[in-house]
Structure 1
């Protein structure tokens, strides 16, 4: 979900933050299924590039992925108030639905190259993960932040294994991605193609951001623990102060009653008996 112009230009804007609560709720529910689907798109793309996946499985997954895009687009379009604004901001989904129809690939094999359009979704996923990570950091959810870093590393590992001939397996790719993201750079696995090096440069920049987030998240996590202790102590002190205030208030009421009784006695002294 973004209001920034860049995601809108590339067709990956998601649901506007100013939209109604129901649209935002369902968009949030679809975020993690979209992340899992994006991971599978990359895995399928890698397996197909290596010729390691049967054609019938590719056909089934193509239908499932296309159906998910159709379901998400129809559902969110029906929920948002400004439907035109949403569709323009997410024009990539429309392109994938129209040109990514699996029967079109069966009738025209050359159109199968359009399958790579779905890799663009990875950019949208990374954008959504970035915004989600910022919200998570604000809430100090360390475990989810680590999960986001893990997902990005796995996705990058499969991508580099399909892009660069020097990296033969996804496991090598994941190791390379982990070493690159952490900016350690052992040099035991190195991309040799131009595409691989460009992707590596992008991942290095992303790695700086990821580990900055993790460092901030760790710091926030430990600081929040100390803050909780301070808050608990402050609540205990406030409870004691409230109790003391109640007792003082009761004493003041009792003193006021005694003072009124004395004033009443002075005004109306008791009559002496005859």
Structure 2
């Protein structure tokens, strides 16, 4: 089944395609999801790089990401019988492959306006892909998973703010800023001041607000689910009672039909009719 958000899709391999390609996609899709995470340290590593070694590491991460996506797409194209449809159904992966290659070979901080736009667009595409890959896990009825994922997001966001924001001097301050951002509270005691921390705050707000909304929706669904289950039990009892009544009526109707169609009964009734006739 295709995961899509308008134009951006990661539809994988058609179920009617080569079975080898379908089996390969089942493993490759999680491999690509993991490789997508490389864009996060690569983006911020390049943005905050102060030495050639740090810049080289960030470029290497982009290059690893490009190689993973390119080899995976080529592998699927080799196995697929519907190559054009495969590329159309995985437009997002094709764009990310091109973006990773461009990021690994072009531009260096401080970025110009055009570079900022292109790199933010690339990181946004990667974020969309990660969300589409994991959307089946973020359903409102999985409250335990949502709570764990929300805690993990806050923990990573706290570490990110401690790394990117000079005014954050401890991990506790980073967690507090991450909570303020994800909950959209904004007390103002700590605020992002650098371009890197501000860009990071944007993604924390978008991701954290979505996670908190799902958590509260899941809690509300848990309370509503109790009433729904009670209502379903009552409906099942009523349906069972109706089925029993219908079965009883069918039995009586069948007995009546058999009685009317039995020749012995007709013969037994005929003398009574003859007695009523005048002699």
Q: TM-score range by the shorter chain?
A: 0.5 to 0.7
Residue correspondence of structure 1 range 65-104 to structure 2 within 5 A: 65-77=65-77, 79=80, 81-86=84-89, 89=92, 90-97=94-101, 100=104
Structure 1 residue 255, shift from structure 2 partner: 2.4
Worse-superposed segment, 210-219 or 126-135: 126-135
C-alpha distance in 1 between matches for 2:206 and 2:10: 27
What are structure 2's unaligned runs of at least 5 residues?
273-279
Corresponding residue for residue 20 of structure 1: 14
- Measure how far apart 1:93 and its partner are: 0.8
Question: Which residue of the other structure, out of 34, 40, 48, is the alignment partner of 1:42?
Answer: 40
Instruction: Give the number of equivalent residue pairs.
Output: 250
The Cα shift of 1:45 comes to 6.1
Q: Does 1:189 align with 2:178?
A: no
1:80-132, Cα deviation, whole Å (9 max, x unpaired): 552453575532313424774xxxx8xxxx88879x99986642343245556
Cα deviations across residues 216-258 of structure 1 (Å, max 9, x unaligned)?
2322233234323322332233223212321221122112223
Aligned CA RMSD, in angstroms, stands at 4.7
- The answer for the alignment partner of 2:212 in structure 1 is 211
Question: What is the correspondence of 1:158-169 to structure 2 with a 5 Å cutoff?
Answer: 158-167=159-168
Change (3 A) 1:14 1:184: same
Would you say the 8 A contact 2:9–2:91 is kept in 1? no
- CA separation of 1:122/1:69 partners in 2, compared to 1, >3 Å: closer, same or farther? same
- In 2, are the aligned partners of 1:77 and 1:86 still within 8 Å (CA)? no
How far, CA to CA, are the matches of 1:170 and 1:37 in structure 2? 27
Unaligned runs of 5+ in 1: 6-12, 270-274
Structure of greater Rg: 2
Aligned match of 2:277: none
Change (3 A) 1:139 1:88: closer
Q: Partner residue of 1:2?
A: 4
CA contact (8 A) 1:70 1:97 kept: no
